[in-house]
Amino acid sequence: MSNKPIQGQQGGSARDHLANERTLMAWSRTGIAIIALGFVVARFGLLIRELGHQVPHNHLLPGASTVLGVVIVAAGVAMMALALARFLKIGKAIEANLYHWSPALDIALAVSLLLVGILLAAYLLLTA
């Protein structure tokens, strides 16, 4: 793909702005899903602690799921803030016909999800 700015008539088309808006909505849905995952992970720790009173050999680190859940929620919130900033930046670039393709947020999301997956796998191994 070319990284050259789009040159043309002044102002972006409605089609370009609507595509930008759909992208923001997709990022928002992903952010909500990540926040929900973090909430579930944090609350899962409460269930494990309750079951821990009944199971004598519980090796769970106290509060680990809460900390991990809060980190995941914070990552979801940060991703949504970055998506909003990207939406506004791209909207201005569309209006000026100077849009430059940048995969930075996409790469950040992929890396973040990889890290969350690794952390969750480690957590499951530690609590097994």
- Give the per-residue pLDDT at 65: 81
Cα–Cα distance between 41 and 53 in angstroms, integer? 19
Structure tokens at 34: 């990540």
The DSSP secondary structure of 15-75, one letter per residue, reads HHHHHHHHHHHHHHHHHHHHHHHHHHHHHHHHHHHHHHTT-TT--PPTTHHHHHHHHHHHH
Q: Which amino acid is at 115?
A: L
**Residues near 70 by beta carbon (within 8 Å), at least 6 away in sequence:** 38, 42
By the 8 A CB rule, do 8 and 97 touch? Answer: yes
- Give the per-residue pLDDT at 58: 52
- Give the per-residue pLDDT at 1: 45
Question: Angle at the Cα of 48 (from 56 to 41), degrees rounded to 5?
Answer: 155
- Give the per-residue pLDDT at 2: 46
List the pLDDT tens digit at each of the 128 positions of the chain: 444 554 545 667 889 999 999 999 999 999 999 999 989 988 877 776 666 665 555 555 667 788 888 988 998 999 899 999 999 999 999 999 888 888 888 898 888 889 888 988 887 787 66
Structure tokens at 53: 């009173």
